[in-house]
Structure 1
Amino acid sequence: MYRYALKIEYHGAPFVGWQRQVNLASVQGAIETALSRLEKRPHTIAAAGRTDAGVHALAQVAHCDMERDWEPFRLCEALNYHLKPQPVAITACARAPADFHARFSALQRRYLFRILSRRAPATHQDGLVWQVKQALDIDAMQQAADLLVGQHDFTTFRSTICQAESPVKTLDHLGISRVETPGGTEIHFDVRARSFLHNQVRSFVGTLERVGAGSWTPEDVAKALAARNRAACGPVCPPQGLYLADVTYPDDPFQSDAAERSGP
């Protein structure tokens, strides 16, 4: 068998999430179906992150095993042909060593969350951002976000159905910036860690938005973290503004010669 790393972009709206579910549209299912049209057998792929329903990806990473020694560019093109018209695209493909694992080999995952701050309804950004009507205090939100960086028990910011063995995680970075776009002011959250708890990023953003709106203070966020109680969390924001933006590996397969041949 030959192992390949796939870099994947998708719009999460039509899907129940990444993970395959019986009789429901998933990103994993769409790609496995496309693979089965290239090699007629069952396929199981693994991904760096199991995104939820409505969550998007700019650079999800998965790996697959193929019986045929595919040239990466040809595999990429063939998969994209069979994925149409679904909003899923393989943006890069590379040969990977047999011990490469999209999930377990990852050193860091980076998520982007986009808030659109404007009163007029979203048009071009609809389904791609969380829209709020009020202006947000970036400095206050960043002050609160800084309190979350580091190793903590994140029980407060963890879904009650989270299956992780421990609520203790290390948050490497949580940066907040204002981006002026033709469609209005966007607030971007850049969140990085080796791994995340279920709903952790959306719990962060929903809570920090309350700080930006003036309903919470940074001290309230510190108290919520210390409470280690899900009931102390602010509102969980909707999924449509969340993107899996990047995954880091000790030896990035997409920087290899094989990956370079997968381009146009």
Structure 2
Amino acid sequence: MQRIALGVSFNGRAYDGWQSQPSGQTVQDQLEMALTRFTAAEPVRTLCAGRTDAGVHGLMQVVHFDTPLQRPDNAWVRGTNTFLPPDIAVQWARAVPSSFHARASAKARRYAYVLLESPVRPSVDSGQVGWVFRPLALEPMQQAAQMLLGEHDFTSFRASGCQSHTPVKTLNRIDISRRGAYWRFEFEANAFLHHMIRNIMGCLIAVGTGNRPPAWMAEVLAARSRDAAAPTFSPDGLHFLGPVYDSAWGLPERTPLFDWLP
């Protein structure tokens, strides 16, 4: 028996999120069906680094599974992709020690939210980017973002159905940049609560458009109440960049898709 890790990318627009559901219309369901067809063996079950919501995209979701089959790394990639729909693709495969766990071995997780600032809604990139029609100011958003860094109780940014055992998380980094009409908000934390980034995005945009001052973010955080924050923002522009592992595992840190994102 050996353990295999895969890096998986997907466009989440057509799926009900990552986690398997009875409908079968999730990314995990599609991946496991493809793996089972490729191995022509018992159903393959995978464990992922981090679950994503409906409509959220993935640039490098990492999963692991155990199998008695011996295959070259490139065979796992090409063989599995043969049975996957066009909007899901395995990017890489590696044999890993049995002590590796896609979720538990991750030191951090990274997301990017891509936002179009335009008076006209998205068209060719519909579903891939969020949208704001009012101009945004960088400096107030950066000031507000700084108030969220470090270990905090993020209850104000937590969805009511969140299953995390604790609302206390450590947000390591929020980087905000702009390229043309596109904004990129990049987040890294030890873990995220359900809807945490989309709720933070709603607050950052309220600050960026001038509806709220930067200091309001600290008030929202301190309130520890979902009612204190802005409405949950659209999932369209949210991309799971992937987990961060110790280099000793020998897994890729990024894929070419990272450079495709604005």
Q: TM-score, normalised by structure 1?
A: 0.92
Q: Deviations 1:131-189 (Å, cap 9, x if unpaired)?
A: 11111011101100000001111110111111111111110001111112xxxx11111
State the distance in 2 between where 1:22 and 1:246 align: 26
Q: Is the alpha carbon distance of 1:252 and 1:119 closer, same or farther for their aligned partners in structure 2, counting shifts above 3 Å?
A: farther
The answer to whether 1:241 aligns with 2:242 is no
State the distance in 2 between where 1:195 and 1:255 align: 20
State the distance in 2 between where 1:13 and 1:252 align: 31
State the distance in 1 between where 2:238 and 2:60 align: 12
Instruction: Pick which of 38-47 and 108-117 moved more.
Output: 38-47
Equivalent residue, structure 1, for 2:208: 212
| Contact 2:24/2:30, CA 8 A, preserved across alignment | no
Equivalent residue, structure 1, for 2:56: 55
Q: Which runs of 5+ in 1 are unaligned?
A: 257-264
Equivalent residue, structure 2, for 1:81: 82
Equivalent residue, structure 1, for 2:42: 41
| Contact 2:96/2:249, CA 8 A, preserved across alignment | no
Q: Deviations 1:13-46 (Å, cap 9, x if unpaired)?
A: 0100000000241000001001111232122101
Give RMSD over aligned pairs.
Answer: 1.3
- Report the identity percentage: 38
| Contact 2:155/2:224, CA 8 A, preserved across alignment | yes
Q: Deviations 1:186-210 (Å, cap 9, x if unpaired)?
A: 1111100111111111111111001
The answer to whether 1:195 aligns with 2:191 is yes
Equivalent residue, structure 1, for 2:108: 108
- Equivalences for 1:1-264 in 2 at 5 Å? 1-39=1-39, 40-83=41-84, 85-180=85-180, 185-250=181-246, 251-254=248-251
SS at match of 1:245: strand
State the distance in 2 between where 1:121 and 1:144 align: 26
Matched residue type, 1:253? G
State the distance in 1 between where 2:124 and 2:251 align: 31
| Contact 1:92/1:254, CA 8 A, preserved across alignment | no
State the distance in 2 between where 1:123 and 1:23 align: 29
Matched residue type, 2:54? A
State the distance in 1 between where 2:111 and 2:14 align: 20
Q: Is the alpha carbon distance of 1:87 and 1:153 closer, same or farther for their aligned partners in structure 2, counting shifts above 3 Å?
A: same
State the distance in 1 between where 2:183 and 2:15 align: 25
Aligned length: 251
Equivalent residue, structure 1, for 2:259: none
State the distance in 2 between where 1:36 and 1:91 align: 18
SS at match of 2:251: helix
Q: Is the alpha carbon distance of 1:176 and 1:237 closer, same or farther for their aligned partners in structure 2, counting shifts above 3 Å?
A: same
State the distance in 1 between where 2:61 and 2:235 align: 16
State the distance in 1 between where 2:231 and 2:205 align: 9
State the distance in 2 between where 1:136 and 1:90 align: 36
Task: Tell me the CA shift for residue 255 of structure 1.
Answer: 5.0
| Contact 2:46/2:64, CA 8 A, preserved across alignment | yes
Equivalent residue, structure 2, for 1:260: none
